[in-house]
Amino acid sequence: EDQVTQSPEALRLQEGESSSLNCSYTVSGLRGLFWYRQDPGKGPEFLFTLYSAGEEKEKERLKATLTKKESFLHITAPKPEDSATYLCALHKGAGGTSYGKLTFGQGTILTVHP
């Protein structure tokens, strides 16, 4: 069965204290791994898509990386406005009933203190 596990469940950082969030997965035939940011009371906001091991993408203070078993969201010198829940999700490749459906992790709640 496809599984997506995010760790830690919650992370508290001081402003400027860099860290990483982890998303480990077990799936046969990964078709894409997605990172979303979700602010309280809002819908998930798309950040990145990664398709193959070794791929990296960056946006401001965020960098996402992908290996064959996990993805990391690195946050460099975070600011209080980076506080949010970060979700990862994956698409499985063709074949079987899961095709085209996103499987989400439980999320990591990030709090950045000034």
Partner 1 sequence: DAEITQSPRHKITETGRQVTLACHQTWNHNNMFWYRQDLGHGLRLIHYSYGVQDTNKGEVSDGYSVSRSNTEDLPLTLESAASSQTSVYFCASSEVAVTDTQYFGPGTRLTVL
- List the interface residues with partner 1, window 45-104 (CB under 8 A): 45-46, 49, 87, 89, 91, 99-102, 104
Per-residue tokens: 64: 């996402």
Neighbours of 29 (CB within 10 A): 13
The span from the CA of 10 to the CA of 33, in Å, is 21
If one asks whether residue 40 binds partner 1 (CB under 8 A), the answer comes out as no
Sheet strands side by side (includes 3-7): 3-7, 19-26, 70-75, 62-66, 56-59
If one asks whether residue 43 binds partner 1 (CB under 8 A), the answer comes out as yes
Cβ 4 to partner 1 shortest distance, Å: 9
> Would you tell me which residues interact with partner 1 (CB under 8 A)?
31-32, 34, 36, 41-46, 49, 87, 89, 91, 99-102, 104-107
